[in-house]
Amino acid sequence: MRDALFARIEEKTDDLVDLTRKLIQIPTINPPGEDYVGCAQYIGERLRGRGFDIAYVRGEGTPGDSDRFPRMNVVARREGAGPGSCVHFNGHIDVVEVGHGWTVDPFAGVVKDGKVFGRGACDMKGGIAASIVAVEALMEIRPDFPGAIEISGTVDEESGGYGGVAYLAKEGYFSKPRVDHVIIPEPLNVDRVCLGHRGVWWAEIETHGRIAHGSMPFLGDSAIRHMAAVMERFEHDLYPHLATKRTDMPVVPEGARQSTMNINSIHGGLSEDFDGLPSAVVADSCRLVVDRRYLIEETYEEVRDEVVDLLEKLKHNRQDFRYDLKELWSVPPTMTDKAAAVVRAVAGEIEAVLGRPAEYVISPGTYDQKHVARIGHLKDCIAYGPGILDLAHQPDEYVGIDDLVASTKVMAASAWALLTGEVA
């Protein structure tokens, strides 16, 4: 069975490359959410021709949704010949902006040196193409497959996934009994199973001062100096403390195997959008945004309280220190158990196809698995797909054709193992 399936996939290499190119040629840039309808329909109509039932689901009223830029998702489902579980492949159709530094046309789908180039080649149109061809090959070899197979193309992953997987999960598309196993073909490298991701906490801190003439700053109170005191506490207390928090989560790269915090932005005093000389004023407000990534060993409350405690201490120790804290966004960490069926199936097939054991990893940043876990309450979910993670969002992004073929084999054989319950 496996030999016939893999031979069929190799015969389909040109089709796989062609499908990857066609998807790249639809420039689904987010923001604003360019041509989502065209891309959803391209996937939907191809699968309709393969006997799938197709639903187009618009994320009505979600961020960015408008008649000009509708948040259009596609969900394709094909029932099998008998009872069994449902395997779902979910790929996001949006890509990030092009940026500078390209040596090839980012939307031509250039094929060169055994690679397909273009914005979204690895993140993640190559992965979508691989999952579609995997499923098509499997249905040709085993038209009598049990259970059900689903493929979705969803929007806005790059901007939080609220019009995509989150919306569909609220509508019941990512829950039992409809779906049992979810594979998200993000570019995590062809030999790695991604079990989940770290958590996120974003917050804005604002310090307050009192405006005065800049030649007599002692008559005012500088919000920027108050913020400098906050940052000094970050440097002396918080950052060293975060560095001691190591995790058992196998996060890659290694540097992310601890708690981290980025200072996303800082603004104080006059805005920069003027010509000429600034006026002489003491800043009465300074705002700073932090992007804290946290571990499965930490709780959201701990993460928030570390910052709140630091600010409260300053309030007691520093004259006239006043602040506001606004929480902007948070996502809990998620990690699928290594013993879960989808993990065992994919890891087993990685070893069978590539001849080496699978590596288990955790993504430093979040992706749509958060919505499957939190809204859909489905724990049997991983990311696995072709392409090198480091190339995502870069100029001259590409996916290797060998990787595409290998991951297609892994996906097809894993789907079979999950549908039939024959997990190694």
Positions touching Zn ion (CB under 5 A) are 123-124, 186
Residue closer to Zn ion by CB (options 366, 408) is 366
Provide the β-strand partners of residue 87. 149, 181
Nearest Cα residue to 54 out of 202, 153, 169? 153
* CB of residue 340 to Zn ion, shortest distance in Å: 22
Residue closer to Zn ion by CB (options 123, 206) is 123
* CB of residue 186 to Zn ion, shortest distance in Å: 5
Nearest residue relative to Zn ion (C-beta): 123
The dihedral over CA atoms of 382, 355, 422, 53, expressed in degrees to the nearest 10, equals 50
Active-site residue, 94 included: yes
* CB of residue 124 to Zn ion, shortest distance in Å: 5
Residue closer to Zn ion by CB (options 189, 222) is 189
Neighbouring residues of 81: CB distance < 8 A, sequence distance ≥ 6:
143, 144, 145, 146
* CB of residue 122 to Zn ion, shortest distance in Å: 9
Neighbouring residues of 412: CB distance < 8 A, sequence distance ≥ 6:
5, 9, 134, 135, 137, 138
Q: With left for phi above 0 and alpha for psi between -120 and 50, is residue 410 left, alpha or beta?
A: alpha
Residue with tokens 């394709």: 76
> Which of 65, 94, 150, 186 is an active site residue?
94
> Which of 65, 157, 191, 284 is an active site residue?
157
Residue closer to Zn ion by CB (options 63, 365) is 365
Q: Phi and psi at residue 138, in whole multiples of 5°?
A: -60, -40
Residue closer to Zn ion by CB (options 43, 413) is 43
Residue 107 CA to residue 161 CA, distance in Å, equals 23
Catalytic (active-site) positions: 94, 157
